[in-house]
Chains A and B, each alone.
Chain A
Amino acid sequence: MVSRGQKFLERFYIGFVFFLLYAPILILIVCSFNASKARTVWGGFTFNWYVSLAQNEEVMAAVRTSLVLTFSAALIATILGTLACIGMTVMKKNSQSAIMSVTNIPMLNADIVTGIAIMLLFVRFAGLGMMSMLAAHITLGVPYVILNVMPKLKQTNRSAYEAALDLGATPTYAFRKIVLPDIMPGVLSGFLLAFTISLDDFVITYFTKGPGINTISTMIYQQVRRGINPEMYALSTILFLVILVFLWIVNRIQNDEPQAAEAQAKGKVAA
């Protein structure tokens, strides 16, 4: 059904967009092997930044803080957001759109506004520390979860769920067996986007962090003034490669799964 020319074009297009997305990353990887500290000058090939990175306790502490903070923030945001979406589906249209509008506030406000507002809140009622950072990051992540889960829920086939109820399934069971698998990709992308947003954030983190705490992001921004330490490029490269390996493993698992193979076969037939 699909001509070879079209197939080639499709492949070319995917490749092209991927190339655009990854080109800056490639440059950073190259920078991590640059012996010169200035990013616009090539000073020869070196592994030194990786060595000094491993010895830099300050950076390691920041990486640790970032991972713990980001992972827990994204996880909590995902749970909160997904539950909220499910609850919202049985609400009236008006209350639904009211909640959606409130949800969008942290996303549409300039970071500095959200950051300062949450900072003021914590200064008044508690101190700044890991908790205030966590709260800010969760708040930042929830909108992305809701925006990813909501469309999936709207697309979910209601009749299948009702049929299951008619056949005697409890709502929880029907939900787990029918709705949850359906919205899972949305939940997963929501989690990943919340993770991404939290990992990347500087402004809000700066204003809500307690003394002596650094994340990868605050660390990098503080270096902008005097020139980025190439150890940061090395760190990014390692992070990138670790996730790439992880992806490859996931891909393998999926291919092993008979279910997945089936789905794939189905996809091929459809194409």
Chain B
Amino acid sequence: MKRYLKIISLAGVMAALLIALVSCAGDDSASGESAAAGGDNTLVVFNYGDYIDIETLDMFTEETGIKVQYEQYVTPEDMYTKYQSGAIPYDVICTSDYIIEKMIQAGEVQEIDRSGMKYYDNLDPVYLDFCKAFDPENKYAVPYFWGTVGICYNTSMVDEEIDSWDILWDEKYAGQMVMENSMRDAFIVPLKLAGKSINTTEEGELLEAQEKLKEQKRLVMAYMVDESRDAMIAGDAAMAVIYSGDATVAMEYNEDLDYVVPKEGSNIWFDCWFIPDSCKHKSNAEKFIDFMNREDIAAMNFDYVYYGTPNKAVYDELDDETKEDTTIFPDEEALMRCEVYKYLGEETEKFYNRLWKELKAY
């Protein structure tokens, strides 16, 4: 009995020591207890994980005196589930285009007042035009990063030059290809291969696409989202349907890798800032979005995240080598073959979900 008491008290001492130790290392207030809606000069920001240079947040607080409560999520669906519960009054959120469009249509997004914004003009009109696909007057969303979906392949494992999606049905590479594990991204491949729009709502076309994907399933090594990057780096897979951002990172570590946006066309995606209707600090949120557009801040975040930036002021300052990196900045011709996702409406969404579930259970 005494022995256990001794052990438990020892454990207690160890825990106390550990806590004391980490407390010394950083003294900022991690006690974020329910301060959410509280003080007036705060801002609750919700973003993808590891999708910002944290230093820019400190700079924002320093310059404006607005305290940032920074929250991160893994998938846009995680984000939407937590947002919808009303658990936390988020002030500004960054997420993917199709979710934003869905939220705009549900009336969950507030118009942004651009009158006080000094740095909005830094954004390249080319990309703002693309954004009109889901935000027709550019009044709800401000683009943060963008990219494409394409094929990343290992030149030491693939002999031919890849320029078409049809390679993903080639028996030669059975068990060596990684498919996108995100519903709409997976359907890009068969839809574009058949020359259809990625925003089709025709059930027949979608069924045909699903048939193609079912046929492909036995050739697929795994369905992955961003983890495909690691499989490509390790040389586990010969090719992967992947986001351009992940391809850039993978290519840094493995020289044999290459990336292509297939000739049949693909998707160009945007992650944007927007103000949800849960916002309690609208002017702070607008200040924050404007701050993100400022040249030096956008440049810091570009260096950290290294995805395509819609910020012209940042782009113009880049060295030629980066500008000519067609993985992040594909040439105009390739871009014009790409479509932006549109929200397909509830009915088609349900149909899509069904097709996806059937594919996974196939």
Contacts and interface: CB of A to CB of B under 8 A. Distances in A.
A250 interface: yes
B230 A250 contact: no
Interface residues of A, number: 56
A103 interface: no
B28 A222 contact: no
Given A40-B230, A211-B44, A246-B10, A60 B26 contact: yes
Most buried by B among A206, A229, A260: A206
Given A60-B22, A61-B30, A123 B86 contact: yes
B230 A39 contact: yes
Nearest to B235: A40
B32 A129 contact: yes
A39 B49 CA distance: 18
B48 interface: yes
B1 interface: yes
A209 B229 CA distance: 30
A154 interface: no
A210 B225 contact: no
A186 to B, nearest CB: 11
A246 B82 CA distance: 39
B233 A40 contact: yes
A49 B11 CA distance: 27
Size range of the chain B interface in the assembly: 35 or more
Contacts of A123: 85-87
A126 B341 CA distance: 38
Interface in B27-66: 28, 30-37, 44, 48-51, 54
A128 interface: yes
Contact of B34 (A71, A127, A188): A127
Given A67-B15, A206-B78, A250-B7, A224 B226 contact: yes
Interface of B: 1-4, 6-8, 10-11, 14-15, 18-19, 22-23, 25-26, 28, 30-37, 44, 48-51, 54, 69-74, 78, 81-82, 85-88, 225-227, 229-230, 233-234, 236, 249, 253-254, 305
Given A60-B25, A225-B226, A257-B3, 7 more contacts: A40-B234, A58-B26, A123-B87, A128-B87, A212-B32, A213-B32, A242-B18
